[in-house]
Structure 1
Amino acid sequence: MNTTHGPLELHLTDAPDPREVAAVSDDLDRFNTDVTGIADRRPLAVLVREPGTGRVLGGLTGRTSLGLLFVDLLHLPPQLRGKGLGSAVLRRAEDEGRARGCEAAVLYTISFQAPGFYERHGWRRLGEVACRPAGASRVFMAKEL
Structure 2
Amino acid sequence: MTQSVIFISDSAEPEFERIIGKGLDEFNEQIAGRSDRRPLCVILRDSITNEVLGGAVGRTSLGLAFLDLFHLPASLRGSGLGTKILDAFEVEARQRGCSSAVLYTISFQAPGFYEKNGWTSFGEISSEREGISRVFMTKKLQHAR
2:5 aligned counterpart, secondary structure: strand
1:12 aligned counterpart, secondary structure: coil
Q: For residue 137 of structure 2, what is the amino acid of its counterpart?
A: M
Distance 1:122 1:62 in 2: 18
Please state if 1:129 is matched with 2:125: yes
Please state if 1:74 is matched with 2:70: yes
Q: For residue 61 of structure 1, what is the amino acid of its counterpart?
A: V
Distance 1:142 1:65 in 2: 15
Match of 2:104 in 1: 108
2:9 aligned counterpart, secondary structure: coil
Match of 1:35 in 2: 31
Distance 1:99 1:16 in 2: 29
- Mean Cα displacement is larger for which, 15-24 or 54-63? 15-24
2:49 aligned counterpart, secondary structure: coil
Counterpart among 9, 12, 37 of residue 5 in structure 2: 9
* Alignment RMSD (CA, Å): 1.3
Counterpart among 96, 99, 114 of residue 118 in structure 1: 114
Distance 2:3 2:80 in 1: 55
1:86 aligned counterpart, secondary structure: helix
Match of 1:3 in 2: none
Counterpart among 37, 40, 58 of residue 44 in structure 1: 40
What is the CA distance between 1:132 and its match in structure 2? 4.5
Match of 2:82 in 1: 86
Distance 1:130 1:33 in 2: 36
What is the CA distance between 1:104 and its match in structure 2? 0.3
The sequence identity of aligned pairs, in percent, is 51
1:7 aligned counterpart, secondary structure: coil
Distance 1:133 1:23 in 2: 36
Q: For residue 29 of structure 1, what is the amino acid of its counterpart?
A: D
User: Structure 2: which 5+ residue stretches go unaligned?
Assistant: none
Distance 1:26 1:140 in 2: 28
User: Structure 1: which 5+ residue stretches go unaligned?
Assistant: 1-5
Q: TM-score, normalised by structure 1?
A: 0.91
Q: Which has the higher strand share?
A: 1
